[in-house]
Amino acid sequence: MKALIDFLWLTARCIAFIWALSTVLILILFAIGTEAEGYSWGERILIAVKYAGYVGGLFGSLLAIMLTLKTWRIERSNKKKIERRGEL
């Protein structure tokens, strides 16, 4: 159960990080470029938050899965090394 809670916590943190980063990038693109002409700043912020949520959900979940798998492999490798040292 602890592993599942740790994974969900990691997933939430990854999604929040990528969401915040994507929101800032989209708002910068809206400020610099001509993509958002005709929209008010409130609409631009809502659009940026919405699309950054999609990006954060997709890539944040993938990042959390990747980090969990890497951690699992490293822990398994370390456990095997400790067992070999104990046998010597």
Look up the domain containing 68 and give its range: 12-87
Rounded Cα–Cα distance for residues 55 and 52 (Å) = 5
The answer to whether position 49 is within a domain reads yes
Report pLDDT for 3. 87
Domain count, the chain: 1
The answer to whether position 30 is within a domain reads yes
Encoded tokens for 69: 């798998």
Report pLDDT for 35. 75
The answer to whether position 3 is within a domain reads no
Ordered mean pLDDT values, 10 residues apiece, the chain (88 residues): 92 96 93 83 92 96 96 94 83
Cα 28 to Cα 1, 6, 61, 68, 79: the distances in Å are: 41, 33, 24, 32, 46
Report pLDDT for 88. 61
Contact present, 53 and 82 (Cβ < 8 Å): no
Contact present, 49 and 23 (Cβ < 8 Å): yes
Place of tokens 């990042």: 63
Report pLDDT for 70. 96
Report pLDDT for 58. 96
Rounded Cα–Cα distance for residues 13 and 23 (Å) = 15
